[in-house]
Each structure stands twice: as C-alpha cells, then as structure tokens.
Amino acid sequence: MKIGFLFPGQGAQYIGMGKDLYDNFEEYRNVYQKVNEITGIDVADLTLNKTEEILNQTKNTQICILTMSLAILKLLENKNIKAEVSSGLSLGEYSALIYSKAISFEDGVKIVKRRGELMQELCPKGDWSMAAILGLDEDKVNQICSNVATGFIAPANYNCPGQIVVSGEKNAVTEAMEIATEVGAKKAVELKTSGPFHTIKLSDASKELKKELENITINEFQTKVVKNLDGKTYTNKDNVRDILADHIINSVRFEQGIQTMLNEGVDTFIEIGPGKTLSGFVKRTSRDVEILNINDMSSFEKTIDKLKV
C-alpha cells in the first residue's frame, strides 16, 4: 500500500465542520489552541459558532480549513498513518507543505493567515465569481472563455477529466455557464468563493504575498509534495517562495497532480479536511485505487478500519 494525502481548498468549508472530532479528541483541540496562540484568531469559534457569511470570508476560510486539516493530520500521526506523497487544491498545498516539513507548522499557519488577508484585502473591486464546468474538455472551456464578451474570465482550475473551473467577473462567468450548457456541458455550477482566484487579477496580492514569504524558512522536503502550478513534484532546488506567489495568479493543474501521484505508485488516497470533492476528482481519474476521506468521526473510524491500524 502506498498512501497519498489530499488537502482541500477554499470552497469546501461549512459551519460545524469537524465538530465531533473537536469534541472527542484532545489532540485535535490542541491544534486549534496552537493556531489561536500563533494568530490570535479563535478558529474553533469561527468554524463552529459563526455564520456561513463570516466563515466564507477569505481571511477566515483559509485559516479554518488549514487548521482542520492539520488537526486531522495529528490524529493520523497518532495512529502512525503516513503518506509518501501529498497534494492540496490551491490553499491545500500549504497543508501538504507543512506535512512535508518544507514549511514549519508555525510559519505555515502565519503565512496562510496572511495569504487569506491579502487575497481578501487586495482583491480588486468588482462583482466576482467562479463556476465549475462539467463535461467539457480543456480546449472547449478555453475557447468559451475566449468567446465571452461581457467581461474578464479565465480558466482557474483543471480539476479532473471533465471538470474545469472558470474565474472572473460575475456577468462573464454567468455568460460562460450559459455558453457551456449550450455546447453540451453536463452542468455548470457557481462556487462558494468571493474573488477572481487563480487569475492575473490577483497580481497585487501575489506581489505582497511574495514579500511575506521572505519571512518564512523553507526546509528540505521530508515527503514528496505535488505542485498546483504544473502538477509535478517539488524538488529541493525549486524556489518555493516564487512558486507559492505565482500560484494565486495561475491555473491549478490538479488533474495533472493526481496523475503524478498515480505515476508515483499511490494506490490509496486519503482526503483530509472538509468535504469529499477531491475524492471525486480522483474517482474520475482512476477507478483502480482506494479512496478514503476524513472530515468527521464516522469517516475517521472508517478510514482507520480500512487501513487496519
């Protein structure tokens, strides 16, 4: 068995995520306390008690999802469950980097807090949206974006075969959804996000994030991590800071990343954090692997049982 960890990104959040894990495991709660001490943010309160509107603010969403993923990692660590390679969708790449020890827990928490703030504060004014287009290939979605006349739009995430996310001005995204449906898309779904993420429109945030990244230490990788930028694994020669700064203005190549993990011999994928979206991406990419996820007590116990630990 070769295990790969997957970490979700923004859009997977929901009020109450991980509540039963928080209630049942002291080591899980301790991670939330540690994040609180580092950031001054009561992540447990944001996650469990606030409104969806508050949780969905980028500055809150990112630190809350990261904390949940890191807390679940602590539970897996205590069960001696390890991955040889990991990947995360957008924000989730930071969880993977922390797991690999390339970025320390404290530096990772600090930089994700700042990343969320910058992506919210430096998001250009406007009415922005993102949508998932299902059932069309890359060329067709790229062509749709080129044909939209009502405003800025660009492909943002190449998630898996037949699912591509577009990002841009709300009117343009709406037009793209309509065109996609007309040319044969199975579905077009607007996402729970609040900015033109993974497009050039976040260039100011990218520049500021690059400055912030200079304040953290980059260590040698203890486990392999797959980049969103090109779907390949990091090497110790890569400029991690530049890659992470470029990350938020470039498309996410998650489908290629899954293929890289398969090529590395991963046969058991564990999604760690809210939702099961990434599990679905893997399922659409390969039918020959075990796919597990952990986002509550039931799924944690099922995973432990499946892995016989």
**CB neighbour list of residue 89: distance below 8 Å, 6 or more residues apart:** 6, 7, 8, 9, 157, 159, 228, 252, 254, 277, 278
247 is catalytic: no
From the candidates 90, 95, 100, 206, give the one annotated as an active-site residue: 90
Q: What is the torsional sign of CA 8, 9, 14, 17?
A: positive
The strands making up 153-160's β-sheet, listed across from edge to edge, are: 153-160, 163-169, 128-134, 187-190
From the candidates 198, 206, 247, 251, give the one annotated as an active-site residue: 198
Q: What is the dihedral of CA 290, 266, 63, 107, to 10 degrees?
A: 150
CA distances from 225 to 50, 165, 211 (A): 33, 23, 23
Using left for φ > 0, alpha for ψ between -120 and 50, and beta otherwise, residue 292 falls in beta
Alpha carbon distance 202, 249 (integer Å): 6
Report whether 106 contacts 38 (CB < 8 A): yes
Which residue from 13, 70, 20, 8 is spatially nearest to 296, judged by alpha carbons? 20
Which residue from 97, 31, 124 is spatially nearest to 234, judged by alpha carbons? 97
Report whether 280 contacts 293 (CB < 8 A): no
- Please give the single-letter amino acid code of residue 201: K
**DSSP for 169-225, written as a single string:** EHHHHHHHHHHHHHTT-SEEEE-S--S-TTSGGGHHHHHHHHHHHTTS-----SSEE
90 is catalytic: yes
Q: Give the residue numbers marked as catalytic.
A: 90, 198
